[in-house]
A = this chain, B = another copy of it.
Amino acid sequence: MPDKSLRMRRAGGDGLVTRPVMLAIAGDSAAGKTTMTRGLVEALGPDRCVSLCTDDYHRYDREERKELPFTALHPDCNHLDIMEQHLQLLATGNPVLKPVYDHATGELVRPELVEPAEFVIVEGLFPLWSKLSRACFDVTVFLDPPEEIRRGWKVARDTSKRGYTQEKVLAELERREEESAAYIRPQRQNADLVVRFAPIEGRDDPAGTSLSASLMMRPTIDHPDLTDVLQSGLSRAMHLKLERDPDGRPVETLHVHGYVPREESLGVEKAIWSALGAPDTETPECLGRLGDARSEPLAIAQLLLLYHLTDAAR
């Protein structure tokens, strides 16, 4: 019935609409996706930016999952075909009626309308899962903290906000390990940026400072040129390094130490921001916010993503 296809298109199904810039923030549970997303949404403003989480595409609720031989990290435990469909719709400027998974109760509830804004940020376990889902994004990030740090974050969050006991969280982490290795971590290799919050070996003051970050930039997209500002000898707390990814591919990594003073961080922030050709505007104040504290490495990572979002929109 090719005629029906044509009739549908002629009737308006493929009309010209504004297409949003889309950013994927992938990573395992409690890898820091929501923290990263929050600062970006605030910097762009809720009028220009909408964010969503692919956990909402869980196929089974918490009760049903108890009977299943796999965890929420298994592709079969998620409506990944529907996730792909909704990503395509959003990427082409269409609204979706997104399912909603309530993390507090573990139930699947009433879906909600999501209309694409100028920027769409998609965080979750599976946004870089397939070739089709990846094709929907302009910029892709994978959050890659060391496992022991992520486990600490997960225990802290799930016991305080999702009503689990520490024992249950640890047991769940154990149960998920195999699927995390099989399905979540491999998405790392498909990200334009890999962000790792961790102590940097041999360089970090071991006590008292906030975590450092390695921002690995793959040449799959054009990154801002930071060689000038960083080679000026301005900073010992930040440096660029040409290296090989563990998978062997060449990458450039920006190391930002947790103890970097605010003034030095600001120098790099300004260099990134002015690379956009809009040097008059101040860098957004909300970046780097970590609860009540502030993390300069987080601010730099978020600003780099803002750079890419703004650059893709031009």
A1-43 interface with B by 8 A CB criterion: 1, 4-5, 7-8, 10-13, 19
Contact with B along A97-118 (1 / 0, CB 8 A): 1010000000111110100000
Interchain CB contact under 8 A, B132 and A11: yes
Which chain B residue shows the least CB distance to A132?
A: B11
Judging by beta carbons under 8 Å apart, are A88 and B135 in contact? no
**Which A residues, 84 to 131, have Cβ-Cβ distances below 8 Å to chain B?**
85, 88-89, 91-92, 94-97, 99, 107-111, 113, 130-131
A79 in the interface (beta carbon within 8 A) = yes
Whether A81 sits at the interface, judged by CB under 8 Å, is: yes
Contacts of A134 in B (CB 8 A): 11
Contact flags A53-90 to B (C-beta < 8 A → 1, else 0): 00000010100000000000000000101100100110
Task: Tell me the chain A residues, 194-233 only, with Cβ under 8 Å from chain B.
Answer: none
Most buried by B among A91, A92, A97, A136: A97
Task: Tell me whether A88 and B13 are in contact (CB under 8 A).
Answer: yes
Given the interface contacts A5-B92, A8-B91, does A111 sit within 8 Å of B99 by beta carbon?
yes
The number of times this chain is found in the oligomer is: 2
CA distance A181 to B234 in the complex (A): 74
Chain B residues lying within 8 Å of A85, measured Cβ to Cβ, are 89, 94-96
Q: Say yes or no: is A138 at the interface (Cβ < 8 Å to chain B).
A: yes
Complex interface bits, A138-170 against B, C-beta within 8 A gives 1, otherwise 0 = 100000000000000000000000000000000
Chain B contacts for A81, CB-based, 8 A? 95
Could you tell me if B135 and A8 are in contact, using CB atoms closer than 8 angstroms?
Answer: yes
Question: With a CB–CB cut-off of 8 A, which chain B residues contact A4?
Answer: 19, 91, 135-136, 138
- B109 to A110, Cβ gap below 8 A? yes
Contact among B12, B79, B113 with A97 in the assembled complex (CB-CB below 8 Å) = B79
- Give Cα A136–Cα B7 distance, bound, in whole angstroms: 8
Chain B residues with CB under 8 A of A97: 79, 82, 97, 99, 111
Q: 15 interchain pairs (CB within 8 A)?
A: A4-B135, A8-B88, A8-B91, A8-B136, A11-B134, A11-B135, A13-B88, A59-B113, A61-B110, A81-B95, A97-B97, A99-B110, A109-B110, A110-B110, A111-B111
Give 9 A-B pairs besides A10-B135, A81-B95, A82-B95 with Cβ atoms closer than 8 angstroms: A1-B138, A11-B130, A11-B132, A12-B132, A59-B113, A97-B99, A97-B111, A99-B110, A110-B110
* 10 interchain residue pairs of minimum CB distance: A11-B135, A108-B110, A7-B135, A11-B132, A82-B97, A11-B131, A8-B135, A12-B132, A111-B111, A99-B111
